[in-house]
Amino acid sequence: MNTKNIAKNLFAGLLLTSAIGTAMAEAPYPAETRFVSTKSRAEVVAELQQARTDGELLVSDRNRDDKQIASAKTRDEVRAELAQARANGEMHVTDQ
């Protein structure tokens, strides 16, 4: 191949690549649709308050209500259980 053919092939490849990129950029994916609510703001706020009362919301930084969970086992008992599980092949040994 001579230099002229290489330049033509390179130019054609760049042109094709840019044309494909432009064509793909025109179509939004997924298709944009406008959201239309069927509930009023008051209904949504009431549902939110009910979910908070029922404890159905995930804990966030905004309303933290963390409860301490007390363990009935000592640290040594937990370590012994871990060692036994590793010895039985129930747990993979990893770097600590």
pLDDT tens-digit map of 18-57: 766 666 656 666 777 888 889 999 999 999 989 888 888 7
Query: Is the pLDDT confidence value at 2 over 80?
Result: no
pTM of the model: 0.30
List CB contacts of 66: < 8 A, sequence separation 6 or more: 59
- Sign of the dihedral through C-alpha 5, 10, 14, 16: positive
**What is the C-alpha to C-alpha distance for residues 5 and 2, in angstroms, rounded to an integer?**
6
Do residues 64 and 58 make contact, with C-beta atoms less than 8 angstroms apart? no
